[in-house]
Amino acid sequence: MLHALYLLGIAAFAASGVLAAHRANMDPFGGFALAFAAAISGGTLRDLVLDRHPLYWTRDWLLLVLIASVAALTMFYLRRRSLPQRTLMVVDAVGLAVVTVIGARAALDAHVTPVAVLILAVVTGVTGEVIRDVLCGEFPPLLLREEVYATAALAGAAAYLGLHWAGVPDTLNTAASASLVFALRLAAVFGDLHLPRLQRATG
């Protein structure tokens, strides 16, 4: 189940990269570039921090084929139909939910400290989005706005860690923690859930 969810998360981030490129009026090369950047950046940074070599995507041809295929199919679809404005955020929420949990699992397998598990899970989840937004010229990236994004990833990572300590089976833990991240992101997208902005004190 974990590997299937992993592929789902990668596919969702690849599609979100193409959707972002489409919104930024990029050409097909830009679409492929953003698909790969969004899909593999978080895991790459995590593996570099954990000193895991070779990098995971250099050994997995299926993963690279999946990213390229999803990117091509998404571009093909967008040439014929338009998508609702919030589609990018919903697709991205799927990727964030799944990849965050994958990052937490990888960090636990590396036997790092609990705080490091949380940090690496969030890094795995949000790095692709940051690079995608920067390449699209969106400043500040979604991560640094008042949107509940990294906060949702942190909540999911904490839930995964807590349920792991409680002895919850990994399949149930993965589903519950990923669902929490996804639900928080949907609440932010559709329910106007956001963090307060930093403001200068008055008076």
Task: Give 116-133 pLDDT, tens digit per residue.
Answer: 999 999 999 999 988 988
Contacts 24+ apart (CB under 8 A), 106-110: 106/43, 106/46, 106/47, 106/50, 107/46, 107/50, 108/161, 108/164, 110/50, 110/52
H/E segment holding residue 27:
none
- Model confidence pLDDT, tens digit, residues 53-66: 899 899 889 999 99
**Residue 108 structure tokens:** 């636990």
Residue 145 pLDDT > 80? no
What's the mean pLDDT in 83-93? 83
* pLDDT of amino acid 177: 97
Residue 22 pLDDT > 70? yes
Q: How many CA atoms lie within 13 A of 19 on its CB side?
A: 21
CA-CA-CA-CA dihedral for 174, 154, 52, 5, to nearest 10: 30
Could you identify the residue written with the tokens 């937490």? Answer: 104
What's the mean pLDDT in 86-91? 85
Amino acid at 108: L
**pTM attached to this predicted model:** 0.88
Residue 197: strand, helix, or coil = coil
Cα separation of 42 and 22, whole Å? Answer: 22
Burial 37-65 (b: 16+ CB within 10 A, else e): bbbbbbbbbbbebeeeeeebbeeeeebee
Contacts 24+ apart (CB under 8 A), 80-84: 83/19
Residue 97: count of CB within 10 angstroms of its CB:
28
Cα separation of 141 and 130, whole Å? Answer: 6
The DSSP bridge partners found for residue 163 are none
What's the mean pLDDT in 157-181? 96
Q: What is the 3-state secondary structure (H, E, C) of 122-137?
A: HHHHHHHHHHHHHHCC
* pLDDT of amino acid 201: 47
Residue percentage of the chain with pLDDT more than 90: 65
Contact 155, 193 (CB under 8 A): no
